[in-house]
Structure 1
């Protein structure tokens, strides 16, 4: 899922009575590769805390459990039809959240869309150039429907089995697992007594406490979806404290069919099987945890704008910004009532 979030990490000193060096904390940062993307962590603690081994362990856990890009991961074993693949609590947590979002968005968030994602060449099977025919898309829709899958306890502690009513389904959590990894890293930090931090994985962010260097909430930028490649431009900045933010957009990950000139995007509509652009250019979601923010951002990216307008008043657990192109060719914005309270400059 193409991200439309840019992490703004401020390294300048905050002008106040005390300089950062005089304050009673240490500033620590960590960067690296994680589940096919990058991560960054900034946190403040009373003393030096080495979290890199724990972060590496969590990344390995998620790769081996839920990455369709890791050949023998648990999810790939399930997709290959291996009998009695046992998964652990982190897999069940993602599965349960995905089912919740699937139900509340009337199926527009659907992790069983993987066969279609692969068919359009955006998946892990490596076939990047193909464009499926309408007949192929229709035939693959039979394998889509998260309501056809279930997870039940196994005969070992904290272990579960995933089953489906339809053989041949392809499950992928790429549109939600980064958010869950963010949440797991945040929990690890809090278990170590760290309460002021910013964790980002592939553009998905959770912010706790404050940026103590600046003595203010964390600033996170939202990209302008009309920007040109190599010319990054911010649309606005939000201030976060004890909240998560995730975004989805198709402006970085798409392809053009040479034969027809048709543009295809990586966000596949699970109800129609189509991967064509809509008027919605980007979605940003604020929630209490990054798993919810990540999943809902994908759902509203796949959803027609009018459908979003009807559903959002019933989803009190999230705040949403939708960026879309108006019929006049101008960039337009719609937000839930609470989203604007997070904007740093209130300029949307």
Structure 2
């Protein structure tokens, strides 16, 4: 009997040691690598799970550098800045061509509500970094001549031809999402299977968070918070991208009705109009498209966006808007709602 007890105790002890080793091995199997920094005028956070400690900072910096050199309007000698100044000798790279093609796709599917050439109107109305001017119908019609992505041509020699020299390209509403996609490609090339890339609130999620054995959890800001930040909702993401656009904290109150509105520029009419959409978040297969469509939904009428989404099953969206009574309301596509954490 004593031998049996001793044997059972020894077996239990060995089993306990084995389970402990297995548990420790499971904890040590995955390592969380985190890269934090600033780029594209905002902050970024890249989390990637691997079996070894890695440092991909040089490759991350390289991605941002080449994207900036191609498409940043804030760098005087970037390709897009030179094109905007009228340099027709610039041969654009593959990234520029991809972003132009994606922009053209969204431009056509939204009937022109997403338009990277609208910046000249944004500045003229006083909502951009450029010089505001006095606007009337005649001036709007004059400036509208310089708006329209269909007036931009990519030649066989990969050069940009503009119908009018005054036209300006601005990819800010899609380039950040595209940069995130390029970071995702870089991580894929390094055989990283589980990662979360966030740049200025826009995200690509791949695989799962192996440390917690669950999908990546991300949050969307509440546009009603005037100071600081508060999450409106959280959701699970896996193998997809999320981008948001919004006029957070930038209300205009109508002096007669007391209603809250935000100003947007209608690229089709050339005039400003009141919009009751406060924020739009879009889930898509890549972040460039999510970025562009989120911007488009801030310009389109709410009802038009909802009808559009019914026919775009590859997109999921969450819209926050103000109803006729001045109350904040929400609208989810079914697929987006499925990802929201209860």
TM-score by length of 2: 0.86
1:302 equivalent in alignment to 2:299: yes
Change over 3 Å in CA distance of 1:282–1:20 after alignment to 2:
farther
8 A Cα contact 2:203 2:242, kept in partner: yes
Measured in 1, the distance between the counterparts of 2:309 and 2:67 equals: 30
What displacement does 1:311 show?
1.5
> What secondary structure does 1:32 align onto?
strand
8 A Cα contact 2:202 2:244, kept in partner: yes
Q: Give the corresponding residue for 1:313.
A: 310
Measured in 1, the distance between the counterparts of 2:211 and 2:70 equals: 37
Within a 5 Å distance, the mapping from 1:304-343 to structure 2 comes to 304-343=301-340
Change over 3 Å in CA distance of 1:143–1:217 after alignment to 2:
same
Q: Give the corresponding residue for 2:51.
A: 46
Change over 3 Å in CA distance of 1:131–1:58 after alignment to 2:
same
1:152 equivalent in alignment to 2:155: yes
Higher mean C-alpha deviation, range 90-99 or range 245-254: 245-254
What displacement does 1:228 show?
1.2
What displacement does 1:42 show?
0.6
Change over 3 Å in CA distance of 1:117–1:103 after alignment to 2:
same
- Of 98, 102, 115, the residue aligned with 1:110 is 115
TM-score by length of 1: 0.85
What displacement does 1:255 show?
8.7
Measured in 2, the distance between the counterparts of 1:19 and 1:236 equals: 34
Higher mean C-alpha deviation, range 274-283 or range 300-309: 274-283
1:68 equivalent in alignment to 2:73: yes
8 A Cα contact 1:20 1:213, kept in partner: no
Higher mean C-alpha deviation, range 264-273 or range 177-186: 264-273
What displacement does 1:21 show?
7.8
> What secondary structure does 1:338 align onto?
helix
Q: Give the corresponding residue for 1:157.
A: none
Q: Size of the alignment, in residue pairs?
A: 317
Q: Give the corresponding residue for 2:4.
A: none
Higher helix share: 2
Q: Give the corresponding residue for 1:282.
A: 279
Q: Give the corresponding residue for 2:221.
A: 223
> What secondary structure does 1:86 align onto?
coil
Larger radius of gyration: 2
What displacement does 1:153 show?
3.3
8 A Cα contact 2:263 2:275, kept in partner: no
Measured in 1, the distance between the counterparts of 2:320 and 2:25 equals: 37
Change over 3 Å in CA distance of 1:255–1:18 after alignment to 2:
farther
> What secondary structure does 1:169 align onto?
coil
Measured in 1, the distance between the counterparts of 2:24 and 2:341 equals: 24
Q: Give the corresponding residue for 1:188.
A: 186
What displacement does 1:18 show?
4.4
Measured in 2, the distance between the counterparts of 1:254 and 1:145 equals: 28
Which blocks of at least 5 consecutive residues in structure 1 are unaligned?
1-16, 155-159, 257-262
8 A Cα contact 1:179 1:293, kept in partner: yes
8 A Cα contact 1:107 1:270, kept in partner: yes
Measured in 1, the distance between the counterparts of 2:95 and 2:68 equals: 11
1:134 equivalent in alignment to 2:136: yes
Measured in 2, the distance between the counterparts of 1:20 and 1:274 equals: 62
Measured in 1, the distance between the counterparts of 2:152 and 2:60 equals: 30
> What secondary structure does 1:139 align onto?
helix
Which blocks of at least 5 consecutive residues in structure 2 are unaligned?
1-21, 254-259
Q: Give the corresponding residue for 2:8.
A: none
> What secondary structure does 2:36 align onto?
strand
1:97 equivalent in alignment to 2:102: yes
RCO comparison, higher one (Cα < 8 Å, 6+): 1
